Amino acid sequence: MSLPVKPGDIVEAAGRIAPWINRTPVLTCGTLDRMSGASLFFKCENFQKAGAFKARGAMNAVLSLSEEEAKKGVATHSSGNHAAALSLAAAKRGIPAYVVMPSNAPPVKVAAVRGYGGLITFCEPTLEARETGLAAVIRETGASTVHPYDDRRVVAGQGTAAMELLEDHGDLDAIAAPVGGGGLLSGTSIAAGAKGRRRAVYGCEPRNADDALRSFRSGKLVPSVNPDTIADGLRTSLCPLTLSIIMENVEDIVTVSEDEIVAAMRLVFERMKIIIEPSSAVAVAAALSGRMKIEGKRVGIIISGGNVDTSALPW
CA 144, distance to chain mean position in Å, is 21
pTM for the full model? 0.94
Measuring CA to CA, which residue among 67, 38, 39, 147 is closest to residue 99? Answer: 147
**Does CATH place domain 55-145 in 3.40.50.1100?**
yes
Per-residue pLDDT, 104:
86
Q: Could you give the CA distance from residue 272 to residue 274 in angstroms, rounded to a whole number?
A: 6
Q: Could you give the CA distance from residue 227 to residue 53 in angstroms, rounded to a whole number?
A: 22
Beta bridge partners of 204: 178, 254
Contacts (Cβ under 8 Å, ≥6 apart) of 315? 262, 266
Per-residue pLDDT, 198:
72
Measuring CA to CA, which residue among 14, 22, 18 is closest to residue 48? Answer: 22
Dihedral pair phi/psi, residue 4, rounded to 5°: -75, -15
Per-residue pLDDT, 29:
98
Q: Over the Cα atoms of the chain, what is R_g?
A: 18
Ramachandran class of 265: left when φ > 0, alpha when ψ lies in -120 to 50, beta otherwise: alpha
Q: Could you give the CA distance from residue 72 to residue 108 in angstroms, rounded to a whole number?
A: 27
CB-based contact 276:269 (threshold 8 Å): yes
All CATH 3.40.50.1100 domain ranges in the chain, comma separated: 7-52+155-303, 55-145
Per-residue pLDDT, 197:
60
Q: Could you give the CA distance from residue 43 to residue 262 in angstroms, rounded to a whole number?
A: 20
The topology under which CATH files domain 7-52+155-303 is Rossmann fold (3.40.50)
- Predicted confidence pLDDT, tens digits, the chain (315 residues): 567 999 999 999 999 999 999 999 999 999 999 999 999 999 999 999 999 999 999 999 999 999 999 999 999 998 788 999 999 999 999 999 999 998 988 888 899 999 999 999 999 988 789 889 999 999 999 999 999 999 999 999 999 999 999 999 999 999 999 999 999 999 999 999 854 567 899 999 999 999 999 999 999 999 888 899 999 889 889 999 999 999 999 999 999 999 999 999 999 999 999 999 999 999 999 999 999 989 999 999 999 999 998 888 999
